[in-house]
Amino acid sequence: MLQTITIDDVEFKIDPETNFWGIGDQKKLEGLYFSVRKELIEEMQNLRFCKDIILLYVNPTDKCNASCPYCYLPQNIKSRGKNMSYAELNAVIEKAIEFFESRGVKGSIVFHGSEPLMNRENIFRVIEDYHNELHFGIQTNGMLLAEEDAEFIKEKRVNIGISLDSPDEVTNDALRGQGHFSKVIETLEWLSRYRGLNVVTTITKHNQRQLADMVRFLHEREVSLCLINPVRGTQKGSLALRPEPQEMAKDFIKAVDTAIELTKQGRRIVIGDFANLLLGIIAPSARVLMCDISPCGAGRRFFSVTANGECYPCGEFIGMQEFTGGSIFNSTIEEISDSDGFRKVMSRTVEWIAECNICLFKNICGAPCPAEIYSTDGSMYKKSYYCDFYRKVIEHALRVILRGDTWHVLRRSALREKFSL
């Protein structure tokens, strides 16, 4: 059923079940809607309930050379100090390749933290050995990256996400450690214009006012993609740093509009999180990120492997034993993804959350993040702490569509039209 929301005095008609949307003559919209409704229901069902692992996050080490106050990993995991040996890492990679090949896909491995470059030698060795069979990514704080490493990453076409929390050195280093800012600036020069680069900013109370400046700062350094993620309150430290959602929305929207204005001036910069919400409206099945859909991607499109081989639906669940899927060394990927722990997360849908079930945006935002809500409320079946943030940002995404700015956020060449009015 089409429902109405007004944005800047313009009435949008939206069907929250399929994310069909439109503005204009009611009868024309209803005619179009009923002609495509069946196809859109099927599309949304596939998007939400397809279970097909295409990516593994692998933490090759428990060790970290930083102590960010909002780290999502429990202290008892980080303090184990386990490094995966080459043989262990190789076993994980070969198991992944066998699984992906059986499904006819080229899958992805992303080395994640703690700090993956604390096990640099082994991860570079497997990238060297298997870069033709898999897509590789590294999420790093960048502190241990040398210029020759940057060359290797570019040569092997490895995606790299580098953490940077502020354009202001004092603010950044207070969050990420002394010397981090200057090191990242150097690294960004080595990776300048590299298509596989993105910069990740975690929004906290300390940097939320700087998001628009952050976008300008990155644009000046020719970064074309950044992720600006709200901190997830899965640990005590991160919980204390969560911004007030409505205020955060204002700051985030300023950053979005800054990115659009800079892009219009000639060189693209995109905030991936916003682009993904916009895709949720105009091209749901083309979404890249799987946090803002329910069930989320945890356990059904990807899962996380810790340094001792234990598997969790997502990194945010690491340490929550009730969600573990067993060991990658003792189980098949099919067994892990079929485990009770994973099924708990994969069965979490917005329809079971009373406030979300009646929300127009339920299939655009998806009530993230289940791990965060479970940590704070003891149940995944509550609305997100960031509900008001998502509402404001999705309303702004509708405004961006109205303004005709969609293609200053998304790449039109990667999409094709299913229908239009």
- Enumerate binding residues for another protein (CB under 8 A): 8-10, 20-25, 28-29, 32, 36, 40, 43, 47, 54-55, 57, 105-106, 108, 110, 135, 137, 139, 159, 161, 195-198, 225, 227, 270, 272, 275, 279, 282-283, 285-291, 297, 301-302, 401-404, 410-411, 413-421
Can you tell me whether residue 144 is helix, strand or coil?
A: coil
Q: How many CA atoms lie within 13 A of 165 on its CB side?
A: 24
**Closer residue to another protein in complex, CB, 206/395:** 395
**Closer residue to another protein in complex, CB, 54/320:** 54
**Closer residue to another protein in complex, CB, 72/241:** 72
Cβ-contact 239, 212 below 8 angstroms: no
Cβ-contact 29, 22 below 8 angstroms: yes
| Minimum CB distance to another protein, residue 9 (Å) | 6
| Minimum CB distance to another protein, residue 23 (Å) | 5
**Closer residue to another protein in complex, CB, 289/353:** 289
| Minimum CB distance to another protein, residue 378 (Å) | 25
Q: Whole-angstrom Cα distance, residue 190 to residue 206?
A: 28
**Closer residue to another protein in complex, CB, 201/241:** 201
| Minimum CB distance to another protein, residue 4 (Å) | 14
Q: Which long-range contacts (CB under 8 A, 24 or more apart) does 320-323 make?
A: 320/371, 320/374, 320/375
**Closer residue to another protein in complex, CB, 108/171:** 108
Compute φ and ψ for 7, nearest 5 degrees.
Answer: -120, 120
Tell me which residue of 178, 258, 250, 243 sits closest to 213, measured CA to CA.
258
**Closer residue to another protein in complex, CB, 77/289:** 289
Q: Whole-angstrom Cα distance, residue 83 to residue 95?
A: 19
**Closer residue to another protein in complex, CB, 236/418:** 418
| Minimum CB distance to another protein, residue 239 (Å) | 23
Q: Which helix (H) or strand (E) holds 261?
A: helix 245-264
Q: Whole-angstrom Cα distance, residue 254 to residue 252?
A: 5
Q: Which helix (H) or strand (E) holds 21?
A: strand 20-23
| Minimum CB distance to another protein, residue 255 (Å) | 16
| Minimum CB distance to another protein, residue 205 (Å) | 25
Q: Which helix (H) or strand (E) holds 225?
A: strand 225-230
Strand segments, DSSP code E, in 232-377 are 270-271, 302-305, 311-312
CA angle 220, 225, 227 (to 5 degrees): 110
| Minimum CB distance to another protein, residue 25 (Å) | 7
**Closer residue to another protein in complex, CB, 1/288:** 288
| Minimum CB distance to another protein, residue 421 (Å) | 4
Q: Whole-angstrom Cα distance, residue 410 to residue 276?
A: 9
Q: Between β-strands 225-230 and 270-271, what pairing exists: parallel, antiparallel or unpaired?
A: parallel
